[in-house]
Structure 1
Amino acid sequence: MWAGPLGGRGGPSGGVEFVNLAVSGAQTREVLAEQTPVGLALGPDLVSVVIGVNDTLRCTFDIHAVATRLDEVYGAFTRQGAVLLTACLPDPGATLGLPGALARPLARRQRAVNAVVHALSARYGAVHLHAAEGAWLSERAMWSADRLHPGERGHRQLAVRFHALLAGTGLADGPAPSPEPGFPAPTRAASLWWLATAGTGWVARRCTDLLPQLLGLAADEMRHRARGTSARLDLRASAAVSAALAALSGAERADAV
């Protein structure tokens, strides 16, 4: 994980204590309900909340719910005095190499999540990384066998970029993490074995969860594309983001009264 190299090399001169609460497959609901209370109890000076892709890969995806949960998580840590690290994340459809009609709905969802993360990061003064951009996204060596999660080299790239942001704000005074992996990359045979064993379970879970809905979204995508009305889908997604952020702003004003 990228935070490991960052915590071990880029912290204050007296050293840092690094606690990893991340859980594979977690969505914003788990971060809010399970990880945030534990994190708050630790009283961190610096906390990373990098989440969102798993939400886009569920049939229950709701940008209003994602925005509300992230607002609660960000607010809880910043009110306690922690410096918040956030990131916008790559489009999973592109990293998985899905066909266009399947990839575009996922891309639209990820853009919505990133727009919310951008807005809330600015609201809470987070140290924010634009991880959805850059040539590193197309480099196969940066990714694990599932093409969805970074491999060690990819995690180290994130650590290097976060360190640069922290150093720029005076929050990191140690040397930058090394971009080079500490372990050999998995062989092609090992990657294929993972895909044939653990990877099949991941695909099966997504097939029963996201795939039926994604096929419907793809059909809708193709209908709009045939009619030349694809822009309506983008406008609909943008309107949903605006409504979600407006609802948070309205709730904030109500709390202040």
Structure 2
Amino acid sequence: MLGDSTAVGLGDPVPGGSWRGVGPLVAAALGIPPAGYLNTAFTGARMRCVRTGQLPAALHHRPDVAVVIVGMNDTLRSDFDPLGMARDLEHVVTALQAVGATVVTMRFHDHSRVFRLPGPLRRALTARITELNDVIELVTRRHGATCLDLGSLPGAYDLAAWSVDRLHPSELGHRLLARGVTELLADAGIAVPSPVSLVCSGGVAPRTVDHVGWLVLKGIPWLWRRGRDLLPYAAAIVARSAAESWRARRVEPLELEAAPRPAEQ
């Protein structure tokens, strides 16, 4: 498992204060013992982090299956670089395939349907996610990897599939991801002896105080930090939209004036 906080398992806490998430659920479904499972992911990871900080350990492990969940942290930064991300992801995918791994990537969903943002920020983030998905889809198709489309995953937009922050999957959400991954692996001919159950068990159910605590201590500060990072891009989108609207209003009367008048009878 390589990637960011979703790959770490955030949103699916277990007793003892650690995280479980999609990785261990996939490993259990495939019958991989704990000693055979490696998770190199860490919170905040970006595409370049996976290439430089996580890939070497993954290659040394020589996995049969590698799941890569990364890119959303890139969309939230002012130095968002689709071309650089494409090069990094291509390097990661081809290197993993070279050691015999079946690689599964993930195409991201419409975050605005589960996490409410002000209009300009929502449009800015949606545009970024579209570019990110284009990168993931291009690299995946070019190298014959497998890609799970989160937006078309059944239940992906149910609020029960999301943790208190609406950014990370809940236990149910992680189970949905794990089931989606293992179904793709089964289609690729990989044995899945223990299909992933969607019945939640073994995790810690969130409490109301967790919702309030996250909002005050993490949610608002996070929105402020990332909003500041996205604000210039959001402002550019608003300005471009306003300019296009202004040009449309200017061009339409001119076109009407230039249109030939019907001949008088």
Normalising by structure 2, what TM-score?
0.77
Partner Cα separation in structure 1 for residue 211 and residue 28 of structure 2: 28
Give the 3-state SS of the residue equivalent to 1:85 in structure 2. strand
The correspondence for 1:212, drawn from 231, 242, 254, is 231
Q: Deviations over 1:12-34 (max 9, x none)?
A: 7x887211111111100111110
Residue 137 of structure 2 corresponds to residue 115 of structure 1: no
> Amino acid of the residue matched to residue 150 of structure 1?
P
Q: Which residue pairs with 1:4 in the alignment?
A: 24
Helix, strand or coil: the match of 1:179? Answer: coil
SS at match of 2:114: helix
Query: Is 2:115 the counterpart of 1:73?
Result: no
**The structure with more helix, counted as a fraction of residues:** 1
Residues 222 and 102 (structure 1), Cα distance of their counterparts in 2 relative to 1, 3 Å cut: farther
Greater relative CO (CA pairs within 8 A, separation 6+): 1
Query: Considering only CA atoms, is the larger Rg found in Structure 1 or Structure 2?
Result: 2
Q: How many residues align?
A: 227
Amino acid at match of 1:48: V
Is 2:47 the counterpart of 1:28? yes
- The aligned amino acid for 2:183 is A
Paired residue for 2:213? 193
Q: Note the residue ranges of structure 1 that are not aligned, 5 or more in a row.
A: 230-257
1:144 is aligned to 2:163: yes
The residue type equivalent to 2:187 in the other structure is G
- TM-score (ref. length: structure 1): 0.79
One-letter amino acid matched to 1:127: T
Q: Which residue of 2 aligns with 1:19?
A: 38
Range with bigger deviation, 173-182 or 68-77? 173-182
Match of 2:104 in 1: 85
Distance 1:28 1:228, change over 3 A: farther
- Pair 102,94 (structure 1): closer, same or farther in 2 beyond 3 Å: farther
Question: Could you say what the CA RMSD is over the residues aligned between the two structures, in angstroms?
Answer: 2.3
Q: What runs of 5+ residues in structure 2 fail to find an aligned partner?
A: 1-20, 249-265
Partner of 1:202: 222
Which amino acid in 2 is paired with 1:95? V
Q: Aligned partner of 1:205: which letter?
A: R
CA gap of 1:29–1:114, structure 2 versus 1, over 3 A, is: same
Q: How does 1:203-242 map to 2 (within 5 A)?
A: 203-208=223-228, 210-220=229-239, 222-224=241-243, 226-227=245-246
Report the Cα distance in structure 2 between the residues aligned to 1:16 and 1:174, rounded to whole angstroms: 18
Map of 1:38 onto structure 2: 57
